[in-house]
Structure 1
C-alpha cells in the first residue's frame, strides 16, 4: 500500500503520527513541510490539506486524512498489530479516556501557553487557515494546567509502566511528545516526579520514540 506522510520534524503534532507509523512498521513516502516558512499556508499544500496543518496522510486511493485522530484510527484498523488503542472493550475505554485527558489537560495547556505568549505567533494564536489574536490570560492558565497535569500523571504512573491498559498505547505516544515539547514554554517535570521520569526513560529506549 502506497502512503504519503506529510511531516515536519520540528513540530509535535506530526511526531505523534510518525511514532505510530514506526511502531506499526508501516511503509510510507515522506514529504517534509516547512512550517518556519509557512509552507502549510501555501496553495500547494492547502490543496492537499485545507486545514493548513500537519500531519496529513494520503492514502493509496487519494483520500487524505488531515488530523492525528483520523490518522491513528485508520492506522489501527489497517495495521492492527501491534494494537495501540486496546483490544478488549475495557482497554479501549481506558486508553480513549487517557488520550482525551492528555490532549485536553496537558497538550492544550502547552499550546495555550506557547501560542498566546510567543511574539512570533502574534495574530496566530490558533493553528489553521484563520488568524486569531493572542489572549495573555490563556497563556497563564496554560502554564497552570501543565503543572496540575504533572501532579496528576506522576501519581497515576505509580506502579505502572504505561499510562493506560497496561500496554503501550496512543496515550503514551501523545503524552511523551507533549512532555518533550513542553520545554518550549520552560516546563520540565522536576526530580520530584520520579514516576514520570521512569516512564519517559522506558519509552526513550524504543526506536520509534527516538524519531
Structure 2
C-alpha cells in the first residue's frame, strides 16, 4: 500500500513463507536473516524492516507525505506505527504462528526453528481483541491514527486488521469509528492491489 500511495512500482518477487522460500539459499543470499519484506535500493543497499523501507521510500519520494510533515506529525506517525505493530501485529502473528500447521517448528521468523506454544496463540487472540478496542478509542478522537491525515500508521493498522482474518478475528460490529475508518481505507486504490 505504501508503494501504491507513492505511485511506485519497483520490480518485485513473491516469497512464500508458508512454503519456506525465505529459507532457500537464493533468498538468504539477499537477506541472511531469512525475513521479509526486503527492499534492495538502486545503490544495492539491502533494507529488511518495514519501518526502514518506509523511511527510505519517504525520503526517495516525499509526496504524498505518509510519515508526517512537521516534527509533531512525524513523531505521532512513528509512535502510532509502533503501537499498532506491538499491540496489533505481534498478537496476530503470535496467534497464527503458534497454531497454523505451516508454522510447525517455525513459530518465530528467521532462520532458526522454534516450537509452537499454544499459550501464545491464546494470548494473541485476547490481545487482538484489545487491539480492536485500542483502535476504536483512538479513532473516536481522530479521523486517522496519527491525526488528520492518512499515514503509514493507518496502512500498518489496516494491514493488521486485514491479516486478523487468518485467525478469524474481525473488528467488532459495535466499533463504529473503526469500521468507518476501515471502510474508507478499504476504498482507497492502494487497498485494491
For normalisation by structure 1, the TM-score amounts to 0.87
* 1:2-33 deviation per Cα after TM superposition (whole angstroms, max 9, x unaligned): xxxxxxxxxxxxxxxxx111101124112222
* 1:123-166 deviation per Cα after TM superposition (whole angstroms, max 9, x unaligned): 11111111111111111111111111111211211153211121
8 Å Cα contact 2:37/2:48 also seen in 1: yes
1:115 and 2:81 are equivalent in the alignment: no
Q: Any residues of structure 2 matched to 1:43-122 within 5 Å, and which? A: 43-122=25-104
Could you tell me which residue of structure 1 aligns to residue 177 of structure 2?
195
CA separation in 1, counterparts of 2:172 and 2:190? 25
Q: What do you get for the CA RMSD once the two structures are aligned?
A: 1.2
Could you tell me which residue of structure 2 aligns to residue 4 of structure 1?
none
8 Å Cα contact 1:86/1:165 also seen in 2: no
Task: Please report how far the alpha carbon of residue 169 of structure 1 lies from its aligned counterpart in structure 2 after TM superposition.
Answer: 0.7
Q: Secondary structure at the match of 1:30?
A: coil
Task: Please report how far the alpha carbon of residue 190 of structure 1 lies from its aligned counterpart in structure 2 after TM superposition.
Answer: 2.1
For normalisation by structure 2, the TM-score amounts to 0.95
CA separation in 2, counterparts of 1:139 and 1:35? 19
1:135 and 2:108 are equivalent in the alignment: no
Structure with more strand by fraction: 1
Q: How many residues align?
A: 193
In the alignment, structure 1 segments of 5+ residues that lack a partner are 1-18
2:140 to 158, 161, 170: 158
CA separation in 2, counterparts of 1:133 and 1:58? 31
Could you tell me which residue of structure 2 aligns to residue 37 of structure 1?
19
